[in-house]
A and B are shown apart, each in its own frame.
Chain A
Amino acid sequence: MSKKILLNSKDIEIILHRLACQLIENHNDFSNTVLVGLQPRGSFLAKRLADLLKNQYHIKDLKLGLLDITFYRDDFRRREQPLTATSTEIDFIIEDKKVVFIDDVLFSGRSIRAALTAIQSYGRPENIELLVLIDRRFSRHLPIQPNYKGRQVDAINEEKVLVTWKETHKKDAVYLENN
Chain B
Amino acid sequence: MPELSVDHLLGIKYLNAEDINLIFKTADHFKEVINRPIKKVPSLRDITIANLFFENSTRTKLSFELAEKRLSADVINFSASQSSVNKGETLIDTVNNILSMKVDIVVMRHPNVGAGVFLSKHVDAKIINAGDGTHEHPTQALLDSYSIREKLGNVKGKKVLIVGDVLHSRVALSNIFALQLQGAKIKVCGPTTLIPKYISSLGVEVETNLEKALEWCDVANVLRVQHERMDINYFPSTREYTQLFGINKTILDNLGKKIVIMHPGPINRGVEITSDVADADQSIILNQVENGVAVRMAVIYLLAQQIKR
**Secondary structure of the A contact surface, majority rule:** loop
A93 to B308 alpha-carbon distance, docked (Å): 37
Which chain B residue has the least Cβ–Cβ distance from A74? B42
Q: B26 near A85 (CB under 8 angstroms)?
A: yes
A31: interface (CB < 8 Å): no
B112: interface (CB < 8 Å): no
B117: interface (CB < 8 Å): no
Q: Which of B1, B28, B40, B305 contacts A121, CB < 8 Å? A: B40
Q: Which of A77, A78, A87, A121 contacts B36, CB < 8 Å? A: A121
Interface string of A72-101 (1 = CB under 8 A from B): 100011100111110110000000000000
Which chain A residue has the least Cβ–Cβ distance from B43? A71
**Given the known A-B contacts A71-B43, A83-B1, are A76 and B305 also in contact in the complex, defined by CB atoms under 8 Å?**
yes
User: Which residues on B sit within 8 Å (CB–CB) of A120?
Assistant: 38
Q: A77 near B32 (CB under 8 angstroms)?
A: no
B307: interface (CB < 8 Å): yes
User: Which residues on A sit within 8 Å (CB–CB) of B62?
Assistant: none
B122: interface (CB < 8 Å): no
Q: B37 near A121 (CB under 8 angstroms)?
A: yes
**Given the known A-B contacts A82-B3, A85-B29, A121-B36, are A71 and B308 also in contact in the complex, defined by CB atoms under 8 Å?**
no
Please tell me the size bucket of the interface on A: 10 to 19
Count of chain A to chain B residue pairs whose CB atoms are closer than 8 Å in the complex: 49
A117: interface (CB < 8 Å): yes
User: Which residues on A sit within 8 Å (CB–CB) of B33?
Assistant: 71, 121
Q: B1 near A122 (CB under 8 angstroms)?
A: no
**Given the known A-B contacts A84-B1, A88-B32, are A77 and B307 also in contact in the complex, defined by CB atoms under 8 Å?**
yes
Q: A76 near B38 (CB under 8 angstroms)?
A: no
A68: interface (CB < 8 Å): yes
A72 to B38 alpha-carbon distance, docked (Å): 13
- A50-86 residues at the B interface, CB under 8 angstroms: 68, 70-72, 76-78, 81-85
Please tell me the size bucket of the interface on B: 20 to 34
User: Which residues on B sit within 8 Å (CB–CB) of A83?
Assistant: 1, 305
A117 to B40 alpha-carbon distance, docked (Å): 11
A78 to B309 alpha-carbon distance, docked (Å): 8
User: Which residues on A sit within 8 Å (CB–CB) of B304?
Assistant: 77
- A128-160 residues at the B interface, CB under 8 angstroms: none
Q: B38 near A71 (CB under 8 angstroms)?
A: no
A71 to B26 alpha-carbon distance, docked (Å): 11
**Given the known A-B contacts A77-B308, A82-B1, are A117 and B32 also in contact in the complex, defined by CB atoms under 8 Å?**
no
B41: interface (CB < 8 Å): yes
Q: Which of B29, B41, B71, B301 contacts A87, CB < 8 Å? A: B29
Q: A122 near B37 (CB under 8 angstroms)?
A: yes
Q: A68 near B29 (CB under 8 angstroms)?
A: yes
User: Which residues on B sit within 8 Å (CB–CB) of A72?
Assistant: 41-43
User: Which residues on B sit within 8 Å (CB–CB) of A122?
Assistant: 36-38
A59 to B39 alpha-carbon distance, docked (Å): 33
Name 16 extra pairs, CB < 8 A, besides A87-B32, A122-B38.
A68-B29, A70-B29, A71-B33, A71-B42, A71-B71, A71-B301, A77-B304, A77-B305, A82-B305, A85-B1, A88-B29, A117-B42, A121-B36, A121-B39, A122-B37, A123-B37
Enumerate 28 A-B pairs (CB-CB under 8 Å) in ascending A order: A68-B29, A70-B29, A71-B29, A71-B42, A71-B43, A72-B41, A72-B42, A72-B43, A76-B43, A77-B304, A77-B305, A77-B309, A78-B309, A81-B1, A82-B1, A82-B2, A82-B3, A83-B305, A84-B1, A87-B28, A88-B32, A120-B38, A121-B33, A121-B36, A121-B37, A122-B36, A122-B37, A122-B38
